[in-house]
Amino acid sequence: MIAKTDRPCPFCKARQVVPVVELRPNDGHTYRIVKCTKCDFVFTANPFESTHARGANTTLRERRQPAVRHYRIEGLLRALKLPGVPPRIVEVGAGHGLLADLLRHDFDYCGYEPNKERAELCQEQGLNVTNTSFDRTTAGEESVDGIVIDNVLEHVSDPERMIADSYVALKRGGVLIVIVPSIRDVRRLMPKWRRRHHFQRVHINYFSPEHLQVMLVRNGFKPCQFGFRGFDKSTARLIPYALADTFGLHPLGLYYYAIKTA
Ligand SMILES: [Zn+2]
Q: Which distant-in-sequence residues (6+ apart) come within 8 Å of 236 by Cβ?
A: none
Residue pair 230/72 in contact (Cβ under 8 Å)? The answer is yes
5 CA from centroid of ligand 1 (Å): 11
The reply to whether 109 and 42 lie within a common domain is no
Over 60: is that where the pLDDT of 71 sits?
A: yes
Tell me what the mean pLDDT of segment 32-48 comes to: 96
Over 50: is that where the pLDDT of 31 sits?
A: yes
pLDDT digits (tens, 9 = 90+) for 183-202: 988 888 888 888 778 888 88
241 CA from centroid of ligand 1 (Å): 29
Over 90: is that where the pLDDT of 54 sits?
A: no
Categorize the per-residue pLDDT at 56 as very low, low, confident or very high, splitting at 50, 70 and 90. Answer: very low
6 CA from centroid of ligand 1 (Å): 13
Categorize the per-residue pLDDT at 123 as very low, low, confident or very high, splitting at 50, 70 and 90. Answer: very high
43 CA from centroid of ligand 1 (Å): 9
Higher pLDDT, 198 or 63: 198
pLDDT of residue 61: 56
pLDDT of residue 210: 95
pLDDT of residue 259: 96
Alpha carbons 20 and 36: distance in angstroms, whole number = 10
Please, what is the average pLDDT of the chain?
90
Over 90: is that where the pLDDT of 243 sits?
A: no
The reply to whether 142 and 172 lie within a common domain is yes
pLDDT digits (tens, 9 = 90+) for 125-165: 999 999 999 998 888 899 999 999 999 999 999 999 999 99
pLDDT of residue 53: 47
The reply to whether 23 and 62 lie within a common domain is no
pLDDT of residue 119: 95
What is the number of domains present in the chain?
2
The reply to whether 222 and 157 lie within a common domain is yes
CATH code at 95? 3.40.50.150
The reply to whether 150 and 27 lie within a common domain is no
The reply to whether 39 and 97 lie within a common domain is no
The candidate with the shortest Cα–Cα distance to 213, out of 171, 163, 161, 262, is: 163
Question: CB count, 10 Å around CB of 223?
Answer: 17
199 CA from centroid of ligand 1 (Å): 18
12 CA from centroid of ligand 1 (Å): 4
57 CA from centroid of ligand 1 (Å): 33
Over 90: is that where the pLDDT of 244 sits?
A: no
66 CA from centroid of ligand 1 (Å): 35
pLDDT of residue 245: 82
DSSP code of residue 215:
H
pLDDT of residue 227: 80
The reply to whether 20 and 98 lie within a common domain is no
For residue 17, give its domain range. 3-46
Alpha carbons 234 and 66: distance in angstroms, whole number = 11
pLDDT of residue 59: 56
The reply to whether 23 and 145 lie within a common domain is no
The reply to whether 59 and 35 lie within a common domain is no
The reply to whether 154 and 72 lie within a common domain is yes
- What is the DSSP code string of 42-94? EEESSPPS-HHHHTHHHHTTS--SPPHHHHHHHHHHHHTT-SSSSPEEEEES-
DSSP code of residue 145:
E
The reply to whether 41 and 59 lie within a common domain is no
The reply to whether 39 and 87 lie within a common domain is no
